[in-house]
Amino acid sequence: MEDLGTNSSASVDYPDYGQLVAQKIVSEEVKRAILICGTGIGMSITANRFMGVRAALCNDSYSARMSRLHNDSNVLVIGGRVVGPALAEDIVSVWLDTAFEGGRHTRRVEKIDKDRVEKVVHRVVARYLDKIQEVDHQALEKMVEEAIDIVIGENSMAAKKGKKKGGG
């Protein structure tokens, strides 16, 4: 267990900590993490900007359980000003003890990152299409789709490999 917190009650910029934790998830340095801030909202937004991060803001035990069971959340976010200490302990326990159910939920979870990749690629390609004079749009679209499938396939394989090693 590694504590990346501020170790003080001084005001800080929560995105710095959310990004640090999200990068550790993306790099597979850690499998799961917990973020805590005032409401948890800013941390959730920050962490979920990273592909492969499924941060769930859980202010009750049921949400914590379902975020693992159906969404395979890998980051638990708790609002420190919203949740009391005893409930926070219960939320963390439930979240840590709940495994991903898989099955039909696997396909749904995989769609989360696929959608993110498609939007990013679309934005990048759209910027440059206006500057290119003669483009075979169908060939370009096929190339982009193949690139997305490769990225999603690599992420899925890495996730499966991690679970076979006892992770997750």
Report CA torsion sign: 77, 81, 82, 83: positive
CA–CA gap between residue 25 and residue 41 (Å, rounded): 19
Residue with tokens 């914590």: 64
Residue with tokens 């096929």: 142
- For the record, the structure tokens of 69 come out as 């069971």
Residue 70: active-site member: yes
Catalytic residue among 37, 58, 122, 137: 37
Cα–Cα distance list, 43 to 16, 127, 151 (Å): 9, 30, 26
Catalytic residue among 58, 70, 122, 137: 70
Give CA torsion, residues 45, 51, 52, 55, to 10 deg: 0
Give me the active site residues, please.
Answer: 37, 70
